[in-house]
Structure 1
Amino acid sequence: MWLPRSCPAVAATLRALAVPLRAHGTRQAQRQRMLFRQLFEPESCTYTYLLADLKTKEAVLIDPVLEMAKRDAELVRELGLHLVYAANTHCHADHITGTGLLKKLLPGCCSVISKDSGALADILICEGDALEFGAFTLEARSTPGHTDGCLTYVLNDRTMAFTGDALLIRGCGRTDFQQGSPETLYHSVHEKIFTLPGDCLIYPAHDYMGQMVSTVEEERTLNPRLTQSCETFVQLMNNLNLPYPKQIDVAIPANLKCGIQDAAS
């Protein structure tokens, strides 16, 4: 399903990365057409990603954080972009999404989340749906296991994948709450992410060690959790004994209203 375009830090801002794109022409031509920014929120160690078609100025923001929404909106304005979508990879438990505030700061922006998340948003998407911005699209791949509604967004030429908490750099999201299932997560990563080209760049929702990017080949050969057998992975994940997320009691109720919070919330 193709969604219509008409629908209405660690550091602070991280440097722009040159993105080697293959589809619809040469890599050099593509680099000149797509803008990419990787942004950071230090409290929850969350990465937010801004992608835009430089010709049409249409843009997508992935996993915005409430406390950084004004920063993100200002960057969009400075760059002369039109934010079409503010999309979440899943219903986060460690921070409140910035989609609700961004809709107010940047009229015409639509909030997006997986239909399987159980959350509210302007657009609920499923496996195989795509978000279009100018000449580019982000394909939604369902990658549950951390939560039921986890999505990985894959750029149309399969050179970039935004994996949320399903796949982190040398790790993965926890599976001990919010419909978590280690077995489901294992199969999601191996079947939906590790089948991408080896040089596809992996951009996770979080990193706690100061690493910004990985590749499919690195993670499918070096990830200490996901290179194990499924049985070993399940046993490992069931015995992590991690502390309760600090913001979960506030974050989940707010994020279930993903992007359509009223002014009071």
Structure 2
Amino acid sequence: MLIFRQLFDPTSSTYTYLLGDSASGEALLIDPVFEQVPRDLALVQELGLRLVATLDTHVHADHVTGAWRLQQRCGSQIALAEAAGAELVDRPLRHDDRIAFGERFLTVRATPGHTNGCLTYVLDDQHMAFTGDSLLIRGCGRTDFQQGSPQQLFASVREHILSLPEDCLLYPAHDYRGVTVTSVAEERRFNPRLGGNVDEGDFTGYMNHLGLPHPKLMAVAVPANLRCGRPEGDAPPAEQPGWAPLTLRFSGVWEIEPMALAERMGECPQGSAAPSPPPKGDKATWGGPALPCDVQIVDVREEPEFLDRLGHLSGAHLVPLSQLLSRLDELDRQQPVVAVCRSGVRSAQASVLLAKNGFTRVANLAGGMLRWHSESLPVAPGSMAATGELPAG
């Protein structure tokens, strides 16, 4: 079975496409964006896939590719048009080449005109094609820089994209209106630049008078993309916060495994306790002694749950999710925060709220107290779990 996901970068309005073969677990990414690599890797991991290659449709001028960064993380090959002349390319591609992923493959079609190295990738059954900037939804890429040519683009689109079966779905590299997909039949009929009875003269006259400014990031993006996204100096950016072993979920939330948190709590040196905030009235807002390290445990359940059969963590600060935003001043913004709830759902939302409000080191306890209890990890005194008072069910 084909696994397919369409991803979006709002800064550059770029679509990234993940294609996977469920039988083998092999996957490809088309047009990855440098800043979105953690997101893409999280999705690949969650779907149980192995990234074998990244494919760029051309040398982009509006964003930096994530190809090199992904190669550093998971060893994926970098594939790009041979005509682009870029460094660090593992697979320089030509017209009619095939890129396999498991039992599936993409066929390469050279579609220059926007740039001299533009490629379109066509799925083996010709039901999907990834057109880069050669053909956009009711439009096309500009032809006034990077060896662009309106005559060449007109021929490329007509001969190698609009010649595909009418029901073939076309997925571009960008869309600026929120439209996600089109088809060969639609573009043949409705594309105002390349469809209907438009001829090469009409198209060339239109494209030569667009009068568009160059992309803002062109001076940075093009040189970087000719290095396949490798930063100057080769130093990759930090992929994970350094304060704990965390996993980034596709939802954008960092998670810490129960055992990793338990080890962190147990390994903290004695005498380095974080200060305990004063209790509010007669509420049970603090779960015993302060945690003997710099991690703040914030339990976002309601008070009765804090003492129920699942128990709570030693040093946990009870701040129900409904009160979190009004009680942020009880937390130290300079120290890491681990959010906890019953199953990890409410605490995931708490993690998002904390991050939006200036907490830069936040993690969600994966699986919440259900996971913590199932792994037989210790809980604080003063709860049913600690006293053995576990009701049936």
**1:174-194 residue CA offsets vs partner (Å, 9 max, x unmatched):** 001000100100000000001
Aligned residue identity for 1:255: N
Tell me how far apart the structure 2 counterparts of residues 53 and 231 of structure 1 sit (CA, whole Å).
43
Structure 1 CA distance, aligned partners of 2:55 and 2:235?
Answer: 20
Assess, with a 3 A threshold, how the Cα gap between structure 1 residues 242 and 259 changes in structure 2: closer, same or farther.
closer
Moved more, 158-167 or 219-228: 219-228
- 1:94 is aligned to 62
- Shift in Å at residue 259 of structure 1? 5.2
**1:78-227 matched pairs, under 5 angstroms:** 78-106=46-74, 108-120=75-87, 121-227=89-195
TM-score between both structures, scaled by the size of structure 2: 0.58
Q: Is 1:263 aligned to residue 263 of structure 2?
A: no
Structure 2 residue aligned with 1:47, among 5, 11, 15?
A: 15
User: How many residues are aligned here?
Assistant: 232
Comparing 227-236 and 88-97, the one that deviates more: 227-236
**Gap runs ≥5 in structure 2:** 238-393
**Residue 244 of structure 1: how far off its partner (Å):** 1.4
Take 2:99 and 2:213, find their aligned partners in 1: how far apart are those partners? 35
Counterpart amino acid of residue 117 in structure 2: G
Q: Secondary structure at the match of 2:235?
A: coil
| Contact persistence 2:224–2:230 (CA under 8 A) | no
Q: Distance in 2 between matches of 1:192 and 1:260?
A: 31
4+ residue runs over 3 A deviation: none
Distance 2:149 2:132 in 1: 16
Superimposed CA distance per residue, residues 173-225 of structure 1 (whole angstroms, 9 cap, x where no aligned partner) = 00010001001000000000011000000000000111000000100111000
Whole-angstrom distance in 2 between the partners of 1:101 and 1:264:
7
Contact 1:169 1:204 (C-alpha < 8 Å) held by counterparts: yes
Greater Rg, structure 1 or structure 2? Answer: 2
* Contact 1:158–1:200 under 8 Å retained in 2: yes
Q: Percent identity over the alignment?
A: 56
Q: Work out whether residues 64 and 229 of structure 2, in 8 Å CA contact, stay in contact via their aligned partners in 1.
A: no
User: Where does the alignment leave 5 or more consecutive residues of structure 1 unmatched?
Assistant: 1-32
Aligned to 1:10: none
Instruction: Report how far residue 243 of structure 1 moved.
Output: 1.2
Counterpart residue type for residue 43 of structure 2: L
Letter in 2 for 1:248: M
**In structure 2, what is the Cα distance between the partners aligned to 1:248 and 1:211?**
24
The offset of 1:264, in angstroms, is: 6.2
The answer to whether the 8 Å contact 1:115/1:125 transfers is: yes
Shift of 1:263: 1.9
